Amino acid sequence: MEIVLVGLNHRTAPVEVRERVSFNAEQAQRAAEELRARGILEETLVLSTCNRSEVYGVPPESSHESAPGLSTFLSEFHSVRSDILSVSLYYHYDQEAVRHLFRVAAGLDSMLLGEAEILGQVREAYRFAHEHGATGPVLNRLFQGALEVGKRVRTETELGTRPMSAASAGVKLAERIFGKLSERKALVLGAGTISEQVVSHLRDRGIAQLYVMNRSRDRAEELAKEFGGKVVEWGEWDIALRSPDVVVTSVSAEEPVLRREIVERAMVARGNRALFLMDLGVPRNIDPMVAELYNVYVYNTDDLTGIVQQNRNARESEIPLAQGIVEEQLSKFLSWQASVELVGLVDALRTKLREERATFIRSRMEPMKHLTETDRAHIEKLMDEMLEKLLLEPAQRLRDEKELRRKIQNVEALRDLFLSSREKP
């Protein structure tokens, strides 16, 4: 019951290679079927995201022996030269493969430490493989363990809670003031790349209504169309600032676009409803004096960058806690694996010893003609009882062994001592 993992990710392969080795759903299913049909793997699961493509499997033989076959398969499947692929691929076996997957599910192996999306991707990959019958008892257990790791890390640590970009930090700050944004409105000044990023985050957080204001109306309409917003005419501040709760500015201008008197007038019209202003322009688009107004919160690029840095440090400080969860769940998985192996081993040993006993009795009892059939059956029964006792007591001790490393070593020793490679379960 060994596990093998072959894959590549953002650390080992450039994007040109990653995009060639990625799997869509149809490819993932076809790859799993072919791997099993060719006898390379008995159980298979393909995990493919923007930053990684990994094949997890349970090989029929030793996990190390299956690795070259997997590498060749990937090369053929994606028509990528093996020399290009070989420098990007990593291989993990058994315990290390399990640890790797648990770290992936925890977000510890992600490009953006603690990102939340990966857990959903692992869940989806498992659901897909399971529905198509590609997984078996080992991968089922392994991926259920991985999902538990991911869930625990997100519940018990703060690895993924803090925003890591200025745009997402700004949106999270808006939530500190308003709570859920699903009943809030936002106005975006400027329609460049930065505005687009913020709008994307606002949409992800379910903003109810989006207004776009830009000097070039065409570009504003383009952005509004892309994200389902409405265009507001440039400069119509009294109308534009009356309803939104969040205002994002990212326009190229030498002087502040939102001056104090404009916002002051808007606040009167709004009945002092709180207003969150995110100034992502350099030079700044919002007059710093605006921050003095009652119920107005202003954050500029430097403020948001400072918050992102704090969050990065906070996330990094959570790594030991997340790793502790990974190791704890790894021990649980290995303990389960050792127990399952022990059951298989005891069954194999029982079969072998019974065969030995049958041969032994046949050869030794042949000359003993005075024994009746009842006597022979009685002797066979006694020998069976003795074998069972000899077998069960050490197995029970092994099962009860508390120290995982010792348990695994003893299971392996028992297997090596009594079974040939052909007989191993």
Partner 1 sequence: MNHLFPVLTGIAYLLSLILYVRFLSTGNRLTGRLGTLLLGLGLVAHYFALWERSRGSHTVPYHDLYGSMSLFGWLLALTYLGLELYHRQRSVGAFVLPFILVFFLAAHLAPADRLAPPPVHGVVFALHVTLSILAYAAFALSFVLSLIFLGEERHLRNHKLGDVVWRLPPLELLDQMSRSSVLVGLISIAIGTALGFVSIDQLPGQNSFYDPKYVITLLVLALYVLYFRLARTTAWRGARASKLCIFNFVIVVLSFTVVNLYLSHSHRYF
According to the binding rule CB under 8 A, does residue 158 interact with partner 1?
Answer: yes
Nearer to partner 1, 157 or 337 (CB): 157
The three-class DSSP label of residue 259 is coil
According to the binding rule CB under 8 A, does residue 295 interact with partner 1?
Answer: yes
Amino acid at 366: E
Nearer to partner 1, 196 or 245 (CB): 245
According to the binding rule CB under 8 A, does residue 307 interact with partner 1?
Answer: yes
Identify the residue among 274, 319, 340, 365 touching partner 1 (CB under 8 A): 274
Q: How far apart are CA 175 and CA 381, in angstroms?
A: 75
Q: In Å, what is the CA distance from 29 to each residue of 11, 72, 115?
A: 26, 18, 26
For the chain, how far is it from start to end, CA to CA, in angstroms? 8
According to the binding rule CB under 8 A, does residue 373 interact with partner 1?
Answer: no
Is 50 noted as a catalytic residue in this protein? yes
Identify the residue among 124, 156, 347, 423 touching partner 1 (CB under 8 A): 156
Nearer to partner 1, 328 or 356 (CB): 328
Nearer to partner 1, 291 or 419 (CB): 291
Identify the residue among 71, 161, 200, 209 touching partner 1 (CB under 8 A): 161
Amino acid at 230: K
Q: How far apart are CA 5 and CA 56, in angstroms?
A: 5
* Minimum distance of partner 1 from residue 318's CB (angstroms): 9
Asked if 198 contacts 246 with a C-beta cutoff of 8 angstroms, the reply is no
Binding mask 74-93 for partner 1 (x = CB under 8 A): --------------------
Both structure tokens of 54? 């990994």
Nearer to partner 1, 6 or 308 (CB): 308
Both structure tokens of 175? 């939530």
Q: How far apart are CA 52 and CA 57, in angstroms?
A: 16
Asked if 201 contacts 167 with a C-beta cutoff of 8 angstroms, the reply is yes
DSSP 288-306: GGGGGSTTEEEEEHHHHHH
* Residues contacting residue 344 through CB under 8 Å, at least 6 positions apart: 1, 425
According to the binding rule CB under 8 A, does residue 264 interact with partner 1?
Answer: no
Identify the residue among 91, 234, 297, 336 touching partner 1 (CB under 8 A): 297
Angle between helix 319-365 and 404-418 (nearest 10): 30
* Minimum distance of partner 1 from residue 70's CB (angstroms): 39
Greatest extent of the chain over all pairs of C-alpha atoms, in Å: 118
According to the binding rule CB under 8 A, does residue 419 interact with partner 1?
Answer: no
Identify the residue among 299, 308, 326, 345 touching partner 1 (CB under 8 A): 299
CB atoms within 10 A of CB 122: 22
β-pairing, 4-9 with 52-58? antiparallel
According to the binding rule CB under 8 A, does residue 303 interact with partner 1?
Answer: yes
Q: How far apart are CA 245 and CA 235, in angstroms?
A: 18
Q: How far apart are CA 415 and CA 383, in angstroms?
A: 22
Beta bridge partners of 52: 9
Nearer to partner 1, 231 or 247 (CB): 247
Query: Within positions 165 to 194, which residues make up the interface with partner 1, using CB under 8 A?
Result: 172-173, 175-179
Q: In Å, what is the CA distance from 419 to each residue of 344, 349, 396?
A: 12, 7, 19
Query: Within positions 313 to 332, which residues make up the interface with partner 1, using CB under 8 A?
Result: 314
The three-class DSSP label of residue 42 is coil
According to the binding rule CB under 8 A, does residue 115 interact with partner 1?
Answer: no
Q: How far apart are CA 15 and CA 120, in angstroms?
A: 22
Query: Within positions 126 to 155, which residues make up the interface with partner 1, using CB under 8 A?
Result: 155
DSSP single-letter state for residue 253: -
According to the binding rule CB under 8 A, does residue 305 interact with partner 1?
Answer: no
Candidate segments 6-14, 42-50, 137-145, 291-299, binder of partner 1 by CB under 8 A: 291-299
Nearer to partner 1, 98 or 304 (CB): 304
Nearer to partner 1, 20 or 312 (CB): 312
Identify the residue among 130, 230, 273, 376 touching partner 1 (CB under 8 A): 273
According to the binding rule CB under 8 A, does residue 294 interact with partner 1?
Answer: yes
Candidate segments 72-80, 208-216, 236-244, 307-315, binder of partner 1 by CB under 8 A: 307-315
| Residue of 15, 25, 50, 239 marked catalytic | 50
* Minimum distance of partner 1 from residue 259's CB (angstroms): 20
Number of residues interacting with partner 1: please give it, by CB under 8 A: 27
* Minimum distance of partner 1 from residue 149's CB (angstroms): 15
Residues forming the site for partner 1 (CB under 8 A): 155-158, 161-162, 172-173, 175-179, 271-274, 291, 294-295, 297, 299, 303, 306-307, 310, 314
Question: Catalytic amino acids?
Answer: 50
